[in-house]
Structure 1
């Protein structure tokens, strides 16, 4: 089908920007710098497996949950746009702390950091969850669209794993300045995408008759 490739490319680029595997490198190094190479590898594996399960579960059940909560796709899409824009601003200004100070201190004191904060919220965070649900709805066949989006998510998760394994040599090659530059560029792209989400949601509501538009609102 002709829409599969464009949707796959859009889903891959969106999730790559939102999850930002490059930006994970300094965070990962800060959390595991005192661990052995074997332990670092185990942490990376657990982090990507847990995040993949979370993304898959939300992709399969997210629409059902929204329906039962009375939240329309357009409202969710605009909320996702606002959320992604906030993440983009953090990336542009190289704001690397994606959790509260208390959570960060708790993560440093824990022996296992693979689930928190690596899997949640650094990989399977609000932005990636929202993106999967919104992107899967862009196809007329929801389940086919969801399959395409999840396939793109799987590749991004695999890239995250590779980036985590190669974090030490990458940090030496890029340096902190190089990592900041890449993160800022991705942040600008994500900001534009976030605005597009909001605009698309508003246009959909404006094109509907008033009664139908208000019916779509939660």
Structure 2
């Protein structure tokens, strides 16, 4: 039981650092600044519902995707580790990686920002997808733990989005920079660990 709890906490920290709810709350506040409270609630719910469905699908179908394209688990961990490390490195510099950033939006209200850029790539970017597939690659209960943990994080992010104005006001610009760099450090470490595990598995290295 303790090992499962530790595994769940590891997954939660990986997803939390990747999605960075505090920083994304600031992005959400900027993207929905002209919306009413009801519109913000609808947009947040739709974006996070789409995000959860997308990540859950990748977590559940990861093994089938591997089989279809002939991808091995070590290859995923190596590529995913590099990707996650790159995102963490950019965040450590105080900037947002182009791999995990919201696209610039225009004034055309016909664009549904809950789909893009909120759901993809801001919340469910390549790094988040790689993280989900990495932690659910063993199948079985790992899939359920990954999906359950991500659902909890989506609920937390939804609450943050609902109170976006208050959070941004309290945290401030300096606070957001600190959170971004801290999450970047965690992501860089997680990415390095994924890369190490992938190399060990690929070359059958026992430590």
Q: Which deviates the most, 12-21 or 1-10?
A: 1-10
CA distance in 2, matches of 1:69, 1:121: 23
- Per the alignment, residue 193 of structure 1 pairs with 190
- Per the alignment, residue 178 of structure 2 pairs with 181
Which stretches in structure 2 are left out of the alignment for 5+ residues? none
The answer (yes or no) to whether the contact 1:98–1:122 under 8 Å persists in 2 is no
- Per the alignment, residue 215 of structure 1 pairs with none
Structure 1 pair 56–80 and aligned structure 2 pair: CA distance change class (3 A): same
Residues 18-62 of structure 1 deviation map (CA, whole Å, 9 limit, x = unaligned): 111111022111111111111111110111111011111111112
- Per the alignment, residue 80 of structure 2 pairs with 80
Alignment pair present for 1:165 and 2:168: no
> What secondary structure sits across from 1:96 in the alignment?
coil
Which stretches in structure 1 are left out of the alignment for 5+ residues? 209-218
- Per the alignment, residue 105 of structure 2 pairs with 105
CA distance in 2, matches of 1:197, 1:125: 17
Alignment pair present for 1:203 and 2:169: no
The alignment yields a C-alpha RMSD, in angstroms, of 2.0
> How far apart are residue 179 of structure 1 and its match?
0.8
User: Computing the radius of gyration over CA atoms, which structure comes out larger, 1 or 2?
Assistant: 1
CA distance in 2, matches of 1:188, 1:93: 10
Match of 1:143 among 123, 131, 140: 140
- Per the alignment, residue 63 of structure 1 pairs with 63
- Per the alignment, residue 14 of structure 1 pairs with 14
TM-score (norm 1): 0.87
TM-score (norm 2): 0.91
Residues 180-204 of structure 1 deviation map (CA, whole Å, 9 limit, x = unaligned): 1111011011101101111111112
CA distance in 1, matches of 2:55, 2:193: 23
Q: Write the mapping of 1:14-33 to structure 2, written as runs, cut at 5 A.
A: 14-33=14-33
- Per the alignment, residue 128 of structure 1 pairs with 128
Q: Write the mapping of 1:43-54 to structure 2, written as runs, cut at 5 A.
A: 43-54=43-54
Aligned length: 204
- Per the alignment, residue 152 of structure 2 pairs with 155
The answer (yes or no) to whether the contact 1:27–1:96 under 8 Å persists in 2 is no
> How far apart are residue 94 of structure 1 and its match?
2.6
Structure 1 pair 30–192 and aligned structure 2 pair: CA distance change class (3 A): same
Residues 57-84 of structure 1 deviation map (CA, whole Å, 9 limit, x = unaligned): 1111122012110111101111001110
The answer (yes or no) to whether the contact 2:100–2:126 under 8 Å persists in 1 is no
> How far apart are residue 103 of structure 1 and its match?
3.9
- Per the alignment, residue 118 of structure 1 pairs with 118
